[in-house]
A = this chain, B = another copy of it.
Amino acid sequence: MMIDSGSKNVIDEIFHPRSIAVIGARSNESLENDGWVSRLIAFGYTGTIYPINPKAAEIMGLKAYPSIRDVPGPVDLAIFNVPFRISDRIMTDCAAKGVKCAHVFTAGFSETGKPEGIRLQNEIERIARQAGVRVIGPNCMGLYYPQGGITFGRLLSNKPGTVAFVSQSGASASRVVAQGTERGIYFSKVVSYGNAIDLDGTDFIEYLSSDPETKVVTSYIEGVKDGRRYFKVIREGNRKKPVIVLKAGITEGGSRAASSHTASLAGAENIWDALFRQTGVIRVDDLEELLDVAMAFVYLRRPAGRRVGIVGRGGGLGVVATDMCEKAGLKVPEFHMETQKRLEQLIPESGTSARNPVEPDRGLAAWAVFYEEGLKAIDADPNIDFILTHLGIDIYGGFGSRLTQSLDEAISILLKLSKQLSKPLVIVLYAGGRAETINAVLQAQKRCLEAGLPVYPSVPSAAKAVSRFIGYHEFLDRIAGNLK
């Protein structure tokens, strides 16, 4: 099918600007006092930065210009950090300068529902379109591209990764990048595009589906301009790499909120539901689920099937974990007889614990011992496709000083053993609400992630994400089958 290669190439150029003008750069910016100029410097942007401010001669050691018209060289990207009332004049300046793309960070336009905001949005759209200035926004955070030294938040991680996030919402973009990197999920390219008077989510998803730096495309949308084109783009994109979408504004109140947020028409829930089912796109309900699914695509190999061997607190917690896995569409089968025999040798006292879900023993110290041998037995079981181990640190946490040490030992053995396993391994670390247990778990999580293992905060979050991950591969299989 034909693809609008025009906007794809434009977007690639936008992510690689040779020069950036910050219009409305604050005269008192410093590395301590966050601003658009200092962010670019701190993130290591290597192109030319032009601070624009009629009242400053120099900002952050860079020569400042009264207007973008005064800038000597060409400007690829202009960031609008100005009051919305003068945005039309600023856009006229950009048009005169021949700016390639304007990122209008400024808010106060159509999303307010007020005549003045609507008029000004129409005006900047008209000026930009006439002059051929491409626009991101208005009312958005713009670009986060660690590889290129571009960011909308100075204290975000500058480590690049393979997950892209296309977000109509700026706060969602900030939350996803902040929480994602804390969970070991790093990003290729992120864009918050707001009211989308020019480039919209569809354009960015289309571009990222072909972007070699991106392996997973995630997205937050409220509404789209052209439903038919969106359908085509996510359908085709999802066949090249997973497309994960949070569709917001699906309830009556949410739809109204979306309208005052980005002036979007959110559309009927049943239409969206059909859209996602037909395209095989992975739908999630909130940003945490979006990151849960991304975690699986970044850290997990595809299991041969849906049958999970659960290693963790047995007893009631094991029963609930089993319910959660099966409700999410996984299967928790009985172990093969040989496995059960082997596990009974390892846990001689308690026959119950040798079944699926298996409970190593009642104390945290027993985990290291079990991981050494028990995981191998489950790994060899023909009834099992992958292993999920959940460690209830919140329960063992009461035992104070030994906790960190016992947890460290268990994780060391787990990481060593994981290399010998032929089947995928998923780790759940319950932290509870106590500061010392939380800190111990954050350390343990870091070690697991560095070893390339996925970590989840709860069994339901892991089960739902892994089930969707497997579902995506099953979807691709069905399509391949249909094409034969």
Contact = CB atoms under 8 A, between A and B. Distances in A.
Interface of A: 34, 107-108, 111-114, 117, 153-156, 167-172, 174-175, 178-179, 182-183, 220, 222, 246, 248-254, 256-258, 260-261, 285-288, 313-320, 322-327, 331-334, 349-352, 355-357, 392, 394-395, 397-400, 432-435, 438-439, 442, 458, 460
A405 to B, nearest CB: 15
Contact of A315 (B172, B319, B355): B172
A174 B395 contact: yes
A15 B432 CA distance: 28
A461 to B, nearest CB: 11
User: Across chains A and B, which 5 residue pairs bring their CB atoms closest together, nearest first?
Assistant: A169-B316, A112-B351, A253-B332, A182-B433, A251-B326
A385 to B, nearest CB: 14
Contacts of A114: 351
Given A261-B316, A316-B261, A392 B326 contact: no
A183 to B, nearest CB: 6
A278 B395 CA distance: 35
Contacts of A313: 171
A243 to B, nearest CB: 18
18 contacts: A111-B351, A113-B352, A170-B315, A171-B314, A172-B316, A175-B395, A179-B432, A248-B320, A248-B323, A250-B327, A251-B323, A253-B325, A254-B319, A257-B356, A261-B314, A286-B320, A286-B460, A287-B320
Nearest to A318: B257
Most buried by B among A167, A251, A288: A251
A357 B322 contact: no
Contacts of A324: 285-286
A283 B250 CA distance: 26
A345 to B, nearest CB: 15
Contacts of A117: 351
A367 to B, nearest CB: 14
Contact of A222 (B169, B171, B220, B316): B316
A76 to B, nearest CB: 27
B352 A107 contact: yes
Nearest to A460: B286
A314 to B, nearest CB: 7
Nearest to A180: B433
Contacts of A433: 179, 182-183, 442
Contacts of A458: 288
A167 B316 contact: yes
Given A397-B178, A433-B182, A433-B442, A260 B320 contact: no
Contacts of A327: 250-251
A332 B257 contact: yes
Contacts of A395: 171, 174-175, 178
